[in-house]
Amino acid sequence: MPRLSLLLPCAVLSLVLLLAHSWARPPVKLSIVVPVEDLQAEATSQLKLLKEYTATAKAYSDSKKHEIPRAGGVLAVLGQALAEQDAKQKKPPIISGPALRDAALAVQQGKTLAATRTAVAAVQRAVSGEVRGGKTEHPWNKLTRMHDLMEEVNFRNSRLRRAVRRSRDPATDARHASTMAVLALVLLVDTHEASKPAEIASWKRHTLEFQRNMTAVAVAIRKRETTKVKPLFLKAAKTCNACHAEFRAE
């Protein structure tokens, strides 16, 4: 019995460590999901939004509950994707992924305008490459709230819908698709909406299919392969609808 009592805590600890590792690393190589260039360009775009949201007391008051946490969440995911990017680069990315992620998490935690501005300044330093360092690993399911992520996906989906017929700004439209693809990695890891093994498998299947289609949409838009954009976008939408029907029927 003494040996068994020792083995049980060890088994529990091993399970916890295994789960922590699975939450920490995405099950897909970042290099096949999103290019570094899109991650860095989108980080710059989100920083611009944060500056607008914190420019005045009124802007902050209007944005603190929804827009600021959403932008902070997107930046945290972008930072983690940069931290774990495996693509070979001729030169290192300007942005330090861990530094961006940590600053973005601070944005989400800011309770006052002053605290949020301090965090946004840290995001600015990370985006401009002034700061480096930080731990590479971080749980993917602790980067943003599910509600904020879904709102972001809905927003970008509406923008892409306009670009399906003809993109007037291929770089921005491709980045919308790339950002949705990398946000899908959070959903791939965060399976709390599912409980049974079969449900979890279905959740992951839907999410991975959505990610792959959005990555393909981004590539097609960037290459101006217009005949491919609509079919790929519709496949992604079909997957999204199927997932909602199964897990969030309303």
pLDDT in tens, 165-205: 888 899 999 999 999 999 999 998 888 877 888 888 888 99
The confidence score (pLDDT) of residue 14 equals: 37
- Using the predicted structure, report yes or no on whether residue 27 has a pLDDT greater than 70: no
Which of 14-28, 94-108, 187-201, 234-248 is most confident?
Answer: 94-108
Mean of per-residue pLDDT scores for the chain: 86
pLDDT at 3: 44
What pLDDT is stored for residue 195 in this prediction? 80
Amino acid at 60: Y
Residue identified by tokens 């399911």 is 141
* Closest to 119 in 3D by CA, of 176, 163, 111, 194: 111
pLDDT digits (tens, 9 = 90+) for 97-136: 999 999 999 999 999 999 999 999 999 999 999 998 789 9
C-alpha distances out from residue 31 to 35, 69, 92, Å: 6, 27, 14
Structural tokens at position 159 = 């923008």
Q: Is 60 helix (H, G, I), strand (E, B) or coil?
A: helix
Q: What is the pTM of this model?
A: 0.86
- pLDDT bracket for residue 24 (50, 70, 90): low
Main-chain phi, psi angles of 54, to 5 degrees? -115, 15
**Under 8 Å between Cβ of 22 and 169:** no
Question: How far is the C-alpha of 94 from the C-alpha of 246, rounded, in Å?
Answer: 41
Model confidence at 11: pLDDT above 50: no
Please choose, from the candidates 101, 230, 82, 92, the residue with its C-alpha nearest in 3D space to the C-alpha of residue 161. 230
